[in-house]
Amino acid sequence: MCFSASASFTAASILGFLGFVAQRMVNVPRQRFLASIPAFFAVQQLCEGIIWLSWNPNQQSWIAHAAATLFLVIAFGIWPTLIPLSLNLFYRRGWHPGSLLLIITGLITSIGLGIFLARTPFGIQVDCHHIMYQLDYSSWHGLVFSVTYVVATIVPFFEVRNRLARVIGIALALSYIIAHPFYQHATVSVWCFFAALLSGAVILMIWRQRSLPTGC
């Protein structure tokens, strides 16, 4: 999250509470994947709060680097797979070909970006009330996985053919469109802030499904 340490810690607290509420609302085991989304966002905002407090422009801080690494592991390694998988499990009882393709795309993206993160040194810069994760995307695989990342995290909301999911997908797409050109060097941080605001929508999705017949 951008802006300040206090804003990040406040967001982490709110998202953590939403994650607890989401898990308490679950009445079918397969819904827990979707219900875990606010909790992962909470961890990311907690990491950025730690970065705000520990980052030093004149000396590398291992605490800030560790927090940034965890933030990026969630951003790169978890979201591309968790989003298509959780939506398929939440709205369907079987495996739809389109959904399965998106899950495979997300899994490959998670693995590819995980390798990219492990092999590519990154820096942290705090400037103009934003946290910037300085990664080199100039290589062809960095560019390819950037595209598949967007596909894996946005397209699933349209593929499940649910009106609320489509609204969330549109909001995510708009948040990326806003974040990328206006906050290009801090897109990872800013977009996660916009996406974190959508955690409340997860609560609504689960609440709307509670009236449907249960099953495993």
Q: What is the pLDDT of residue 189?
A: 60
- Do the domain assignments include residue 13? no
Smallest Cα–Cα separation from 132: which of 191, 78, 74, 176? 191
Can you read off the two tokens belonging to residue 42? 């909470």
Question: CA 62 to CA 75: how far, in whole Å?
Answer: 20
- What pLDDT is stored for residue 145 in this prediction? 82
Q: Residue 58 — very low, low, confident or very high, per pLDDT cuts 50/70/90? A: confident
Say if 86 falls within a structural domain: yes
pTM: 0.84
**Span 132-146, average pLDDT:** 73
Domain span holding position 62: 54-198
Give mean pLDDT, residues 121-146: 74
State how many domains the chain has: 1
Residue 138 lies in a domain: yes
In a domain, 6, yes or no: no
